[in-house]
A and B are shown apart, each in its own frame.
Chain A
Amino acid sequence: MEPLIADASFWPECFGCCNNVTGDCTLPGMAVPVPQPPPDPQFVLRGTQSAVNALHFCRGAQAQGCPLLFSGCQRGLVHIWSLQTRRAVATLDGHGGQSVTWLQMLPQSPQLLSQGRDLRLCLWDLAEGRNAVVDAVCLESVGFCRSSVLAEGQARWLLAVPGKGSDEVQILEMPSKTSVCTLKPEADAKPGMPMCLRLWQAQSSPHLLLLAGYEDGSVALWDVCGRKVCSRVSCHEEPVMGLDFDSQKARGVSGSAGKALAVWSLDGQQALQARSSHQLPNPGISDVTIRPDRKILATAGWDHRVRVFHWRTMKPLAVLDFHSASVHCVAFATDGLLAAGSKDQRISIWSLYQRV
């Protein structure tokens, strides 16, 4: 393991001013002001020494007092960054040098899930400074599909992972690792591989639902218990690369390898409807994330830029042009901090439209 703490390149990245970037410009009721120049990152984390593929903010109780950011990189390492000292506090190496593609904290316990291209999904125990793999799930898909987890406070939680067949999705019950079901599209559908997953359960209904973006550019809503597709909407020409869903508004957004950002919604009959499509100047969205307060969303673009939109109106708000290579992932902290990880091995941290 490398002594990342000693990475000297870290210092210059602390681009001063931690003050609120938006604070002084937003006087309500003013005449149309001259737009402000795009903001600079609050600071930049450097030292992964390979492309950053996954980011995840430590949420909930564990984050109290010491906010942490997890990043997974091409070299198979998971870095744990302290946002206070802006240094890596630990490095987890559990994927044998294969790229880490997905990171997720379990809500109740200080446990981290990491998915790697070594076909393993590891469960790390981070309690009390430990960093050991306590469990691992073997995956059977070599694709890039990120998994999804649903844990609503029970001891058992559900995990959606790409399945054995190239177009299958497998639902596992954890921690027993028993397969609940395998979701296989109908024979004539041919949607291609699943590219991104999102497990979801509406509060009022017992139905367990899964949103999956497929290679053919469609987004499908699966009824997990019924093992059937409730609805499918074709909103992209190119493979869907990332999606996020706002369960309160029953509205979701997906980005693809093409130039469009699609917004779709779910009506009472659990039917997906395409709502709108927002054209981007450059093709390729590798990740889409809605901020936890559901005010804005951010996209990670292959054009090196992070784009920020107003979630309700989809009005473009900012184009963050800092990275010098494709941005692979974006993540929001509960307090609104935005992190973007890029192929240029840097993680930029932004503070946008945050209430003080």
Chain B
Amino acid sequence: MRPGGWMEALGGFPRGLEDDLLARTRSRRLDFLAFSSCFPVAPGPVRRMDPAPSAVRLTVREAIHTLSSSDDCGLILHTLRFLKRYLGETEDPALPEEQEEFATVHFSAFLRCLVRKLSPVWLELSPDGQLEELWDSFFLKGPADQAFLVLMEALEGTAGPSFCLMKMAQLLANFLSQRRVAALMEEQCRPQKKPGFPLLQETLLSKVVGLPDHLGNRLQQDNLALFYPQNYFPLLGEEVVRVLQGIVDALRGGLDCSVSFVSRVLGKICIQGRQKEILDVLVPQLTALTQGSCLWQRVCWRLMEQVPDRTMEAVLTGLIEAATGRPEVLSRLLGNLVVKSKKAQFVMTQKLLFLQYQHKTRMLQSLLGYLAMDSQRRPLLVQALKELLQTWGSSSAVRHAPLAQQQYLSAAILICLAHLREPELRDSQDELLASMMAGVKCHLDSSLPTVRRLGMIVAEVISSRIHCEGPALKFQYEDDELSRELLALATPRTEGSSPIEAGGPSPAPTASETLAKTMDDGVKSANGSVPQAGPQGSDSDRDSDDEFIPYDMSGDKELKSNKAPLYVRDCLEVLTSSEDMECWEAALRALEGLVYRSPEATLEVSVELAKVLLHLEERTYVSGFEGLRRRALVAVVVTDPVRVAEYLISQFYALNYSLRQRLDILDVLTLSAQELSRPGHLKRSPQQVSCGSGAPVLATSQPDHTAGSGWRAVVEERIRSKTRRFSKGFPWRELLSSPNEFNSVAGYFFFPLIRHFDRPLVTFDLLGDDQLVLGRLTHTLGALMYLAVNTTVVVSMGKALLEFVWALRFHADIYVRRGLLSAVSSILLSVPAERLLGDLCDELLEARSWLADVAEKDVDEDCREQAVRALLLLERLKDRLPPLSH
């Protein structure tokens, strides 16, 4: 092929190429029987060996001459009708060899001539439309590939909008709706020996697939609905089914066919992102057709195998999506493609399992179900499970992969496990167990609760499957939607519709039985205290139970003995030394109220009390122990903020505390700061205490009827109704205003806490293993910053916090980064704008570029979102900020 030959091919069949084709046709070998039986051309080429131009050539040349020079309608019609003989459609067709010659050599040149002649005036030569009909028929009846190419070429070359353009678009629409594309593709499926055939196919391929784009560009506003992608590709899907039907018929007739062109069309459409349009048509039809037909299945398998590697991923993804929830359909359509094609294997066992985590779990189920359905594919499933577990168990993946991907991986593992049977797992038991152990460790190390829970769930399921003997691994985690969904994936599903059929009739009676039983029980228990209900029931005053609906009695618990101490000091003593557990519990419950009620007494023992509470252990089961202890500690801190906060922070950085205690300290500091900064907290506390001891039900259920507010409202309403006002402003309510109690102590909370984070102890290394505490510390600092709004120390706090953030900005742990981002946001919210710009300008600029980086590149969605929020807060200051220097 000459360089640039494809350009000519794209432009149709220019002269040189036609001759070239002709020359090669002559040397065509005839050993391909199947082909020759389709195309009876036997003696032709031999005769055309002589150099004299054939009769066909002369006729065509003459016809072209007539068309281009004559305006005589009768002559033109006659010429066209004469040529039509070569298409074999008339009652007096030309000789087969002449037809063949016309089709291969002269047809496209003649069509181009027709296109050139096209104009409204020319068509009007025959007012009865005969000419137009003849003109159309050449395109619609002649060889489809050439007609299509000429038509597309003409559409490309015609300036629009014009009559010719619209006429040809209309013709193309007819071409499509008369199913000529099927003919075109079917032609390409026959064994071809034509020279330049690959080039032709390539051109056809790009024109067929790119039709909507070409036409859209060409016709702009005047585009026809048929050429819209959403209409065109489904049509193409229908055509593909028709072609495949033709191929199946041909194969039944003993003819050889190739589906590679169809595969390429399919691939090209899919890689252009039109999977959904075509496969939504194709898959249901193929599903129906392949049911029970081996031939159809083989054609389908072949179709998929012939898809070029480049487009394999797009096709497979689309296919699996279209067949979601039906692995048996996938199995029918794909066969053992995954074993035969390296690319398909890569896509299905690597890309879709590990990387394309945006897909739904149902798709994973059908993919893995497909792998599990055939014995040849099952080794791949085992292999996939091993690799999945390896990734799941790698600490780097746990640390750096996005959460969604980790969930996807976990779901894939659980589905694999559900499909695999005991013997298959046993072979690789050790390997799986090792990966699981490593994985559990790094998942439980994570500071994100979701990751920890994923680790627990997956580990539970794996251990129950591969390690049946011995006690089952059981973690304590809260049952939520995620865990239920994942556990549901892990239960092996029985094949096909058997569960429905088996479960259909039988559960119904059992359900009604149990219902009846429970109702009986209910009646029995209602009458339980009166065994002889019969005579009772006949009482004249038998009342219906409907009017006696029980109230909620869930609060009816055993009354704790009233041993609660009445003084803070007594409480302290009981908590430290009492052996009486009831007394101890009562003291713990009473402590918060006592502290709020007697601040003076608390001040005397505050640090001691904090120490006791910090070290308090749950000696006996007390419901809500953690909350009680935390609230009591908060009360102590609120009462004596400076000393207790100082003590707690010194303990935070001391040796020999558990993680739990350190986290508690941070929580308590945050909550106390919140309490202190709340407006009017001092007024609120005693009221809360009195509610707690008095009538909590009243306090909660009727907040509006409490002390005196009722009559005040009535009085005010009366005054308002009797008062005449000349102007009505916006009704404003006097807000309770009080100084921020946190103002004077914020520094005591903040600075000691931020000071020592980079000094590791033997047992406590914030920058090392204790990243969970570090994460919580960053969140706490952010919260303290936020609560210190309107205080005087806020600027220096902001400065210190920004430096802290800067030092840790590339921390590997997601939870820490989230904390840092929230800290930045709270700085932006708390520090007044003018101070931000005046004192913290440089730091802010640095933070800004970091935020932009995080917003773009962070693996964690939450981090990205928080960074964007912080950037938006920064945007508010943007007008006054100098531009970002690159």
Q: Which residues of A contact B (CB under 8 A)?
A: 11-12, 15-17, 22, 25-26, 28-29, 33, 35-40, 249, 263, 275-278, 281-282, 294-296, 303-305, 310, 312-319, 321-322, 324, 353, 355
Q: Which residues of B contact A36 (CB under 8 A)?
A: 549, 551-552
The answer on a CB contact under 8 Å between A313 and B551 is: no
C-alpha spacing A16/B701, complex, angstroms? 12
Q: Does B702 contact A (CB under 8 A)?
A: yes
Residue on B with the closest CB to A29?
A: B546
Closest to B548 in A: A310
Contact yes or no, B526 A40, CB < 8 A: no
Distance from A317 Cβ to chain B, minimum over Cβ atoms (Å): 5
Write 14 A-B pairs (CB below 8 A) sorted by A numbering.
Answer: A16-B702, A16-B710, A17-B705, A35-B550, A35-B554, A37-B551, A37-B697, A38-B551, A281-B557, A295-B548, A314-B530, A315-B545, A318-B550, A321-B555
Say whether B697 contacts A321, CB under 8 Å: yes
In the assembled complex, the Cα of A154 lies from the Cα of B186 at a distance in Å of: 117
Question: Per-residue 0/1 for B516-546: is the Cβ within 8 Å of any A Cβ (1 yes, 0 no)?
Answer: 0000000000111111110010010111111
Which residue of the partner chain, among A25, A303, A304, A313, contacts B527 with CB atoms under 8 Å? A313
Instruction: Give the residues in chain A near B539, CB-CB below 8 Å.
Output: 249, 312
User: Which residue from A16, A28, A324 sits with its C-beta under 8 Å from B544?
Assistant: A28
A282 to B547, CA, bound (A): 27
Q: Establish whether residues A324 and B694, one from each chain, have CB atoms under 8 Å apart when the complex forms.
A: yes
- Residues of chain B having any CB pair with chain A under 8 Å: 526-533, 536, 539, 541-559, 693-695, 697-698, 701-702, 705-708, 710
Is the Cβ of B559 less than 8 Å from the Cβ of A38?
no
Contacts of B532 in A (CB 8 A): 275
Q: How far is the CA of A303 from the CA of B557 in the complex (A)?
A: 10
In Å, the complex CA distance between A310 and B552 comes to 15
Which of A22, A282, A314, A322 touches B529 (beta carbons < 8 Å)?
A314
Q: Separation in Å of the B189 CB from the closest CB of chain A?
A: 64
Residues on the A chain within 8 Å of B707, using CB:
12
Q: Is the pair B697, A40 in contact by a Cβ cutoff of 8 Å?
A: yes
B697: nearest residue on chain A (CB-CB)? A40
Chain A residues within an 8 Å CB radius of B530: 263, 275-276, 312-314
In the complex, are the beta carbons of B694 and A38 less than 8 A apart?
A: no
CB contact under 8 A between A15 and B697, given known A28-B544, A319-B555: no
User: What residues on A are CB-neighbors of B548 within 8 Å?
Assistant: 295-296, 310, 315, 317, 353
Q: A15-B698, A35-B551, A310-B545 are in contact. Are A281 and B556 (CB under 8 A)?
A: yes
Determine the main DSSP class of B at the interface with A: loop
Determine how close the nearest CB of chain A comes to the CB of B802; give it in whole angstroms.
Answer: 49
**Minimal beta-carbon separation of A271 from chain B (angstroms):** 15
- In the assembled complex, the CB of B723 is this many whole angstroms from the nearest CB of chain A, namely 26
Tell whether A28 pairs with B546 under 8 Å between CB atoms, given A16-B702, A39-B551. yes
| Residue of A38, A296, A303, A317 contacting most chain B CB atoms (<10 Å) | A38
| Contacting pair B547 A353 (CB below 8 A) | yes
Pair B553/A38 contact, Cβ less than 8 Å: yes
Q: How far is the CB of B695 from chain A (nearest CB, A)?
A: 6
List 10 other contacts, CB 8 Å, given A313-B545, A315-B545.
A22-B549, A37-B551, A38-B551, A38-B553, A275-B531, A296-B548, A312-B530, A313-B526, A315-B550, A318-B553
Closest CB in chain A relative to B713 CB, distance in Å? 12
CB distance from B148 to the nearest CB of A (A): 67
Interface centre among B529, B542, B543, B555, by most chain A C-beta atoms within 10 angstroms, is: B529
Minimum CB–CB distance from B848 to chain A (whole Å) comes to 52
Contact of A40 among B536, B552, B702 (CB under 8 A): B702
Chain B residues within an 8 Å CB radius of A324 = 693-694
**Contacting pair A316 B543 (CB below 8 A):** no
Known: A28-B544, A281-B557, A315-B526. A37 touches B550 (CB 8 A): no
A28 vs B544: C-alpha distance when bound (angstroms):
10
Q: How far is the CA of A36 from the CA of B280 in the complex (A)?
A: 52
Tell me how far the C-beta of B327 lies from the nearest C-beta in chain A, rounded to whole angstroms. Answer: 41
Which residues of B are found within 8 Å of A315, using beta-carbon distances? 526, 545, 548, 550
Q: Which residue of B lies closest to A322 (CB)?
A: B695
In whole angstroms, what is the CA distance A55 to B749 when docked? 56
Taken together as a complex, chains A and B put the C-alpha atoms of A36 and B548 apart, in Å, by 12
Chain A nearest CB, measured from B659 CB (Å): 38
| Complex interface: chain A residues within 8 A of B531 (CB) | 275-276
**Chain B residues whose CB sits within 8 angstroms of the CB of A296 once the complex forms:** 548
Provide the bound-state CA to CA distance between A346 and B533, in Å. Answer: 38
A316 contacts B550, CB within 8 Å?
yes
Closest to B705 in A: A16
Residues on the B chain within 8 Å of A39, using CB = 551
Across the interface, do B698 and A40 meet the contact criterion of CB distance under 8 Å? yes
Bound Cα distance from A355 to B555, whole angstroms: 26
Shortest beta-carbon contacts, A-B, top 3: A276-B529, A314-B529, A35-B552
Residues of B within 8 A of A16 (CB): 702, 705, 710
**Which residues of chain B have C-beta atoms less than 8 A from A12's C-beta?**
706-708
A305 adjacent to B710 (CB under 8 Å): no
The answer to whether A263 touches B529 (Cβ under 8 A) is yes
The distance in angstroms between the C-alpha atoms of A316 and B553, with both chains bound, is: 9
Assembly CA distance A195 to B547 (angstroms): 34
Q: How far is the CA of A12 from the CA of B551 in the complex (A)?
A: 25
